[in-house]
Every structure is written in C-alpha cells, then in structure tokens.
Amino acid sequence: MEISLSDFKRIITTAAELGVENYMKAREPESDMMKQADAKRYLSKLGIQPVMLRKWADQKLITPVKTGDAQNAPVMYSLVEIKQLIFSLQTYQMIR
C-alpha cells in the first residue's frame, strides 16, 4: 500500500483542520450541534445518502443527542463528529 504525496498532504491538512474544529467545539459546544434534518442535508451535499446518519448512530460511530423528553424533541448531531467520521472513512478506504 502506497499513498501519494498529495493524498498524504490532504490527510494531514484535514486532520489539522478537524483538530481546530474540535477545539472550537470544546469551547462553544452549542455552535457545533445541528438538527437531524440539517445533518441529512449536509450529507446529501457531500453525495452521502442521508440514511447513513442513522446507520452510523446505530453502530455508535456518532452520537445523536435528544434535546428534550418529548417524543418529538429534536435530535441533534455534532458537525465535527460527522466530519471526523467521514474523514476517517475516506482515509481508511485510501489506505486499504
């Protein structure tokens, strides 16, 4: 298995960017959270089927947060957590 220099650079750059986003999430956690519908739209823009959000949550790869006790309370997801998972999956596919 061999990774090109441009792919390696992209991996390092993306990892650094995600590190900064994770730091910002720690400082302002509310700014990182998005509603389930918004998370699905984000995945769609990236060409990822929105159903993956639920599958990843079922596999405990991301953590949905229900914001209330009511049955229809919004479910929120961390944008950084989603980005980290997508990056991990892409990198894993690259090095396999």
What's the first-to-final CA gap in the chain, in angstroms?
Answer: 7
Q: What is the pLDDT of residues 59-70, one digit of tens each?
A: 999 999 999 889
Q: Which amino acid is at 68?
A: G
Strands 65-66 and 33-35: unpaired
For 5-95, which CATH class? mainly alpha
In angstroms, the CA 36 to CA 16 distance is 26
What is the structure's pLDDT at 34? 96
Q: What is the pLDDT of residues 23-60, one digit of tens each?
A: 999 999 888 999 999 999 999 999 999 999 999 999 99
Positions of E strands within 7-96:
33-35, 65-66, 75-78
Residue 1 has pLDDT above 80, yes or no: no
**Domain coordinates in residue numbering, the chain:** 5-95
Could you count the other beta carbons within 10 Å of the beta carbon of residue 26? 10
Q: Work out the pLDDT band at 95, boundaries 50, 70, 90.
A: confident
